[in-house]
């Protein structure tokens, strides 16, 4: 089998494996049924009474939310929406199409720009048989606080009315809440003074606790396995370079380290989950630095393979441009670079187009190997255009650039040791990603079957101070385990109605309003300072 055939077989294998990975990931997470009429918010109101989350899947909270521009309101300051009739006439609220940034949104006839602050509100009605729900919250730009039914359930950064009073932070989050009878209200304060775009530019996703846990677990573990795979391959290539002094191995090692960093700071943002106070500026700069570094490595690899197609008068200006871009990322504020990154990507796209044309001319003159190079450069060009569309909010999607970069490398027709190193690296990564994602899906499912262990809780204080009965103590233990009313009834051999009556009595005695507040009270009263009360995955 000649090298060209081997290359295409490896490329095909890599592509098929990754298609399997992405399709498996997609199939395991229920999404909206496109064959049915998907509910949308209208004038701050969303009727979900006919939506079956179990059968139709996760729902994105898109449509018209109410917006109170340059007002930071809490739930008690906002009157309920008037259902299908919209918000109250004469109020300070307008409507805003979610998801989206407010840069081009007009207030009193004028675009508000990227800087500012606002309060968003949405009222929902759930199906009558739904008692608990979960919300997947992506990162608004650049700080937010979110209330559900009057309770603060999530926040990232500090919402403020000026650059001095606000603090940016990116973090993905999920919350689980009890669904009350009647209307559920969602209120979100958002502010931005540190980035080009402001607002909630990604949709919030609503589903059952199991669905949202599966979504979040799979997305997170996908990133974990990608980071692990890239770091493993970086180590492999650096060892190859140390033993054989192969320049391509050194370049690939640096590239895989760069890719692992990019995955950690984008996607499901592993870095802010592992290090909650990870600096927002550093997170954005690492993301912006990854693209020019990979671009530089890509150009150097092409130059090492076909120097006659990329002469020095081409590579030197390219290297200078990339070095300048890296310097700009390091020196200027994130706000400044977020405004020029699109311009840089357009320049990079133009350069890649010129390189593609040079290889096309060579191919037309009979250089057969140039056809493969056209494919590699075109793949990189598509990645760059995809990033441009993403930063321009034309097309918002998950960051698959690392996989695309590797596909570009696998299409480079090199030979001998460099060729073997590239192909071995690519196939190894493909297998690791496929196995890792399959395992991630399995673990995501298994998380729901794990019974958390509850350390003994001393109820003497609650019994003495609030008069908690022995039967109520048994119910509190099951509530702390995350059991539903029906499950508690089956365990204690009492009816679900009896469980509800006991819970009502417990909430009245403890002066709390829902199960979440009960668990928080147990955490405070626990002798292990809250460590004994463990949430089940669906409670997290």
Backbone angles phi, psi at 136, to 5 degrees: -100, 120
Q: pTM for the whole thing?
A: 0.69
Q: Residue 173: which H helix or E strand, with range?
A: strand 173-178
Q: For residue 522, what is the domain's CATH number?
A: 1.10.10.10
Tens digits of per-residue pLDDT, 285-323? Answer: 999 998 888 888 878 877 776 677 677 777 788 888 888
pLDDT of residue 5: 42
Rounded to an integer, the average pLDDT of 331-345 is 88
Shared-domain flag, residues 84 and 151: yes
Burial of 307 per CB tally in 10 Å (0-12, 13-18, 19+): exposed
**Structural domain range at position 361:** 214-444
Contact 251, 299 (CB under 8 A): no
Please, which pLDDT band fits residue 88 given cuts at 50, 70 and 90? very low
Looking at 175, 207, 239, the residue that finishes a domain is 207
Q: Residue 97: which H helix or E strand, with range?
A: strand 94-98
What is the 8-class DSSP label of residue 127?
-
Shared-domain flag, residues 473 and 400: no
Distance CA 216, CA 313 (A): 48
List the one residue out of 73, 54, 76 whose CA is nearest residue 126.
54
Helix-helix angle 280-305:334-364, to 10 degrees: 20
List the one residue out of 403, 8, 28 whose CA is nearest residue 215.
28
Distance CA 59, CA 299 (A): 43
The reply to whether 84 falls in a domain is: yes
pLDDT at 35 over 50: no
Task: Quote the number of domains for the chain.
Answer: 3
Q: Which residue has the tokens 């469980």?
A: 499
Shared-domain flag, residues 229 and 301: yes
Shared-domain flag, residues 256 and 170: no
Shared-domain flag, residues 223 and 280: yes
Shared-domain flag, residues 123 and 195: yes
Shared-domain flag, residues 138 and 220: no
pLDDT at 15 over 50: no
**Token pair listed for 174:** 């999920």
Distance CA 68, CA 187 (A): 11
Shared-domain flag, residues 435 and 476: no
Tens digits of per-residue pLDDT, 476-513? Answer: 888 877 777 887 887 787 888 888 888 888 888 888 87
């Amino acid at each position: 089998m000649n090298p060209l055939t081997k290359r295409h077989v490896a490329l095909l294998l890599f592509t098929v494996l990754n298609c399997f990975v992405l399709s498996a990931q997609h199939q395991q997470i229920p999404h909206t049924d496109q064959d049915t009429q998907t509910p949308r918010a209208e004038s701050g109101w969303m009727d979900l009474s006919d939506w079956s989350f179990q059968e139709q899947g996760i729902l994105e909270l898109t449509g018209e939310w109410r917006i109170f521009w340059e007002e930071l309101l809490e739930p008690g300051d906002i009157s309920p929406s008037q259902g299908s009739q919209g918000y109250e006439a004469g109020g300070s609220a307008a409507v805003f199409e979610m998801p989206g940034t407010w840069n081009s949104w007009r207030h009193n006839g004028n675009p508000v720009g990227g800087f500012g602050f606002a309060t968003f509100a949405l009222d929902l009605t759930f199906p009558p048989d739904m008692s608990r729900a979960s919300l997947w919250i992506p990162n608004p730009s650049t700080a937010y606080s979110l209330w559900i039914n009057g309770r603060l359930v999530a926040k990232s950064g500090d919402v403020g009315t000026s650059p001095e009073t606000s603090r940016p932070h990116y973090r993905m989050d999920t919350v689980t809440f009890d669904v009350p009878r009647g209307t559920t209200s969602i209120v979100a304060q958002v502010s931005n003074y540190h980035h080009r775009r402001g607002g909630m530019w990604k949709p919030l996703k609503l589903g059952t606790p199991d669905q949202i846990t599966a979504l979040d677990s799979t997305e997170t573990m996908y990133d974990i396995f990608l980071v692990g795979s890239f770091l493993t391959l970086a180590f492999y290539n650096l060892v190859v370079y140390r033993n054989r002094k192969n320049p391509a191995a050194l370049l690939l090692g640096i590239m895989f380290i760069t890719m692992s960093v990019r995955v950690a700071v984008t996607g499901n943002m592993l870095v802010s989950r592992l290090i909650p106070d990870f600096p927002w500026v550093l997170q954005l700069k690492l993301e912006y630095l990854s693209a020019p570094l990979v671009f530089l490595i890509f150009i150097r690899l092409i130059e090492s393979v076909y120097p006659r197609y990329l002469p020095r008068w081409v590579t030197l200006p390219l290297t200078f441009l990339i070095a300048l871009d890296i310097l700009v990322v390091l020196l200027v504020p994130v706000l400044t670079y977020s405004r020029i990154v699109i311009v840089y990507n357009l320049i990079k796209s133009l350069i890649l187009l010129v390189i593609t044309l040079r290889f096309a001319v060579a191919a037309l003159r009979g250089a057969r190997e140039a056809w493969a190079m056209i494919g590699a450069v075109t793949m990189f060009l598509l990645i760059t255009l995809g990033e441009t569309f993403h930063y321009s909010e034309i097309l918002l999607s998950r960051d698959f650039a690392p996989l695309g970069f590797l596909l570009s490398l696998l299409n480079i027709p090199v030979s001998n040791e460099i060729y073997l190193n590239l192909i071995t690296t690519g196939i190894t990564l493909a297998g690791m990603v496929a196995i890792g994602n399959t395992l991630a899906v399995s673990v995501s499912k298994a998380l729901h079957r794990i019974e958390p262990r509850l350390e003994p809780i001393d109820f003497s204080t609650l019994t003495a101070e609030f008069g908690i009965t022995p039967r109520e103590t048994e119910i509190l233990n099951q509530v702390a385990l995350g059991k539903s009313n029906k499950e508690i009834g089956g365990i204690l051999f009492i009816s679900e109605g009896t469980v509800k009556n006991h819970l009502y009595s417990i909430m009245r005695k403890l002066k709390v309003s829902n199960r979440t507040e009960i668990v928080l009270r147990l955490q405070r009263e626990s002798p292990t300072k809250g460590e004994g009360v463990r949430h089940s995955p669906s409670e997290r």
